[in-house]
Amino acid sequence: MKRFHIHVAVDSLSDSIRFYSTMFATEPSVQKNDYAKWMLDDPRINFAISQRGADIGVNHLGIQVESSDELQQMQARLESLKPDIVMEEGTACCYAKSDKYWVTDPSGLAWESFHSLAAIPVFGEPEKDAVTGMPTETRSGCCIPLAAQSTQSDAPCCVPTAQSNTAQCCSAKEASV
């Protein structure tokens, strides 16, 4: 069975942990000084947040599978859509060792299909020097090898702002939808 995955970059980890723990009515299953994850069954979701310097908001979406066979099936479907899939085998990311495939949707949003193999004590693998192959520094983002750039400069329509808790809409028609 598959599990939907969403990873959100947050401004304040402690405030966000408090918020999402209340919303989900449970504490995180994994909590580190820069990361937290809830493995929920209702709804069936792997929801992660991190505070590691990425732009605040949705970092990436994904589908977590339970077997290598399911991952291969996901890979085949994704390759039929986009041949430029990035494959990572046995990679360390978000305190887990995983096999994964990355692809972007038509709007440039990063999607990760992955099979988690084991929990690990570090957020990500160290970057390696191109000449020596020796580790140089730990990655600051959650391992997204794809550069998804936003081309939209304005806030989305009809989304409540944090300051006002009221929707800021593009037009009166959209406000009534």
> Could you give all domains of the chain from N- to C-terminal order, each with its CATH number?
3-175 (3.10.180.10)
Q: Predicted confidence band at 136 (pLDDT cuts at 50, 70, 90)? A: low
Q: Kindly state the average pLDDT of the residues 33-54.
A: 91
Q: How far is CA 137 from CA 88, 123, 147, 154, in A?
A: 19, 12, 20, 34
Q: Work out whether the CA dihedral 143, 5, 28, 14 comes out positive or negative.
A: positive
Is a pLDDT exceeding 50 seen at residue 164? Answer: no
Q: Residues 143-161: what's their mean pLDDT?
A: 47
44-50 and 3-9 beta bridge pairing: parallel
Q: Tell me if the pTM is above 0.85.
A: no
- 66-97, pLDDT tens digit by residue? 999 999 998 888 888 777 888 888 888 888 89
Q: Which of 41-50, 56-65, 168-177 is least confident?
A: 168-177
Averaged pLDDT of the chain: 77
**pLDDT value for 125:** 67
